[in-house]
């Protein structure tokens, strides 16, 4: 959810079973319906099968549950959710940020696209778009716009 849909850990923890519509291939994150991609759909199906086998009688409405929450209606704790990433560079938050930046780069730093896709506020969308444009300009500057065959780089100014 963090790597594909840029969902925050809190959003992932609070997802309900009703937020997943496998038949219509939709996923609702923070009240916004999004298309359900093949990777997320495959992982959700595997998780739901595991969840059904492990806790067949649970009444917990949350998508993600564990041994402690299966007998309640509470969401899993943030610590439990982020435990698998502890000590790694790829934390859920880092994956979320990387996903938003990747989308900004793919769409040439369009803040309106970012706001529409991720439901982020204008200020955040503009910040990601600005960073993406700076990265895109830096990359473009590394290529010779005149088409010169002379090598570019630290040893060839």
Asked whether residue 84 carries a pLDDT value surpassing 80, the answer given is: no
Band of residue 156 on the pLDDT scale cut at 50, 70, 90: low
- Give 119: exposed, middle or buried? Use CB within 10 Å, 0-12, 13-18, 19+: middle
End-to-end CA distance of the chain: 44
Residue 117 has a pLDDT of 80
Which pLDDT tens digit goes with each residue over 34-82? Answer: 999 999 999 999 999 999 999 999 999 999 999 999 999 999 998 998 8
Which pLDDT tens digit goes with each residue over 6-33? Answer: 888 899 999 999 999 999 999 999 888 9
Query: Which pTM does this prediction carry?
Result: 0.71
């Amino acid at each position: 959810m963090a790597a594909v849909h840029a969902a925050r850990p809190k959003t992932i923890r609070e997802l309900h079973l009703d937020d997943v519509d496998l038949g219509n291939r939709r996923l609702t994150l923070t009240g916004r319906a999004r298309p359900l991609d093949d990777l997320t759909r495959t992982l959700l199906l595997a998780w739901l099968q595991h969840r059904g086998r492990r806790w067949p009688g649970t009444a917990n409405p949350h998508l993600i549950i564990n041994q402690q929450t299966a007998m309640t209606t509470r969401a899993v704790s943030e610590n439990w959710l982020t435990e698998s990433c502890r000590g790694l560079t790829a934390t859920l938050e880092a994956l979320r940020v990387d996903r938003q930046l990747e989308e900004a780069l793919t769409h040439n730093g369009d803040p309106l696209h970012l706001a529409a896709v991720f439901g982020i506020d204008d200020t955040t969308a503009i910040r990601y778009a600005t960073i993406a444009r700076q990265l895109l300009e830096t990359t473009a500057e590394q290529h010779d716009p005149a088409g010169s065959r002379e090598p570019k780089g630290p040893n060839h100014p």
